[in-house]
Chains A and B, each alone.
Chain A
């Protein structure tokens, strides 16, 4: 292929590319307006009872940044990230940040939960997912799984596995608080 042929080929490819860009429609709400446990979607709503007996509904926390952390007492990385979560919760709660620690109770031993929260001195709400519905709705396959939700109720980040470091928590919380 000589230089002229190559130049023609380049021009054709670039024009085709530019035309394709211009013709590619921007779909409104390509990321569905519906809820899904994925970045960019509205976080699936739920109502769960906390270990103190209080009912908490996620959608009622709109206007605040929320970290939904799905965990179990037997899970070592869940244990490892609890102190960091407690620390950043106290650091950011005045700015409108909430942690909802959803215990996957259906696959945990319920008697262990209260001693666990006392041992780690957890002050944020610990919710009990007794039926496993929230764990299923959030498609949790690994523990811990964390969902950072912004003030509009949109998931800004999903972190599968752990432990999450303090710096990771801070960067994601600051993003969710924007």
Chain B
């Protein structure tokens, strides 16, 4: 079964899974956007500009980081190869684009991120499946009965764990109450995603050691959780102060 799936979506076709998840995620996000006070049109626009900024920003930052290679062949900037890309840089540029759009349209930034959360949740599922198809982000060896054969060993099916965790988070997200304050949906999702990945990272074979004792990725995820908790409290306090000043 897994082998058929991997043959069907072997690289570079694994990218199809990401595109499908993006489309499904946007469809789901549209259905919930009104709940956060964001119209479908604004959601589609913000997604479009965010995606555009991600693609252009990720490529441009990669070019700047490797400028000596591109000076010799400037046309490579337009190469269709997706590996010439700075993912983290792309995300940062996309977030900036979303914030700029929100401010121009006088939308609440946090509500915009809340409305985009189903999109992020479905993309997480797509990412897990694309890892499985491309046999990347693979697990450490195991003797457990559910281990899968990958790269000459029976390994933890981390990609499947990752996909299942993302499905669970999407299900949880779908059950959230309507009256959560702005930003809380997104921040809880981000904190839970960080927690799930911090847990699953233990089973991954590809990691960056830190002080020869711990995994750098887990430390980063721990700080993401901490930042989410601080942001949740800040948002809740802000909302309490706003409602107090209204009633006062």
Interface residue ranges, A against B (CB under 8 Å)? 3, 6, 10, 13-14, 17-18, 20-22, 24, 26-27, 30-32, 34-36, 38-41, 84, 141-142, 157, 159-168, 170-171, 174
State the CA gap A168–B79 with chains docked (Å): 9
State the CA gap A157–B11 with chains docked (Å): 14
Of B11, B75, B76, B135, the contact of A142 (CB 8 Å cutoff): B11
Size of interface on B: residues with Cβ below 8 Å to A? 49
B145 contacts A by Cβ under 8 Å: no
Whether B12 lies near A17 (C-beta < 8 A) is: no
Assuming the contacts A26-B214, A174-B69, asked whether A165 and B84 have C-beta atoms less than 8 A apart, the reply is yes
Whether A160 lies near B81 (C-beta < 8 A) is: no
Whether A32 lies near B151 (C-beta < 8 A) is: yes
Whether B152 lies near A31 (C-beta < 8 A) is: no
Whether A24 lies near B214 (C-beta < 8 A) is: yes
| B137-151 CB contacts (< 8 Å) to partner A | 138, 140-141, 151
| B193-241 CB contacts (< 8 Å) to partner A | 195, 198-199, 201-202, 205-207, 209, 212-215, 218-219, 221-222, 225-226, 229, 232-233, 236
Question: Which residues of the other chain, A, contact B12 by a CB distance below 8 angstroms?
Answer: 142, 160-161
Question: Which residues of the other chain, B, contact A18 by a CB distance below 8 angstroms?
Answer: 222
Whether B205 lies near A167 (C-beta < 8 A) is: no
Question: Which residues of the other chain, B, contact A14 by a CB distance below 8 angstroms?
Answer: 222, 225-226, 229
Q: How far is the CB of A136 from chain B (nearest CB, A)?
A: 14
Whether B152 lies near A21 (C-beta < 8 A) is: no
Question: Which residues of the other chain, A, contact B206 by a CB distance below 8 angstroms?
Answer: 30-31, 39-40
Question: Which residues of the other chain, A, contact B207 by a CB distance below 8 angstroms?
Answer: 26, 30
Of B75, B151, B218, the contact of A21 (CB 8 Å cutoff): B218
Q: How far is the CB of A77 from chain B (nearest CB, A)?
A: 10
Q: How far is the CB of A71 from chain B (nearest CB, A)?
A: 16
State the CA gap A36–B142 with chains docked (Å): 18
Q: How far is the CB of A79 from chain B (nearest CB, A)?
A: 15
Of A27, A36, A141, A160, the contact of B140 (CB 8 Å cutoff): A27
Q: How far is the CB of A165 from chain B (nearest CB, A)?
A: 4
State the CA gap A142–B6 with chains docked (Å): 13
B45 contacts A by Cβ under 8 Å: no
State the CA gap A165–B73 with chains docked (Å): 8
State the CA gap A69–B72 with chains docked (Å): 22
Encode B72-89 as 1/0 by CB contact (under 8 A) with A: 110111010101100000
Q: How far is the CB of B232 from chain A (nearest CB, A)?
A: 8
Assuming the contacts A159-B83, A164-B81, A168-B76, asked whether A13 and B225 have C-beta atoms less than 8 A apart, the reply is yes
B70 contacts A by Cβ under 8 Å: yes
State the CA gap A21–B219 with chains docked (Å): 7
Q: Which 5 A-B pairs have the closest CB atoms?
A: A167-B76, A165-B79, A166-B73, A165-B76, A170-B69
Assuming the contacts A14-B226, A20-B199, A27-B140, asked whether A34 and B152 have C-beta atoms less than 8 A apart, the reply is yes
Whether B215 lies near A165 (C-beta < 8 A) is: no
Q: How far is the CB of A103 from chain B (nearest CB, A)?
A: 21
Assuming the contacts A26-B212, A27-B140, asked whether A165 and B222 have C-beta atoms less than 8 A apart, the reply is no
Q: Which residue of B lies closest to A81 (CB)?
A: B81
Whether B76 lies near A166 (C-beta < 8 A) is: yes
Encode B35-52 as 1/0 by CB contact (under 8 A) with A: 000000000000000000
Of A13, A26, A38, the contact of B213 (CB 8 Å cutoff): A26
Whether A24 lies near B218 (C-beta < 8 A) is: yes
Question: Which residues of the other chain, A, contact B222 by a CB distance below 8 angstroms?
Answer: 14, 17-18, 21
B66 contacts A by Cβ under 8 Å: yes
Whether B72 lies near A166 (C-beta < 8 A) is: yes
Question: Which residues of the other chain, B, contact A30 by a CB distance below 8 angstroms?
Answer: 140-141, 205-207
Q: How far is the CB of B210 from chain A (nearest CB, A)?
A: 9
State the CA gap A41–B138 with chains docked (Å): 12
Q: Which residue of B lies closest to A31 (CB)?
A: B205
State the CA gap A174–B213 with chains docked (Å): 30
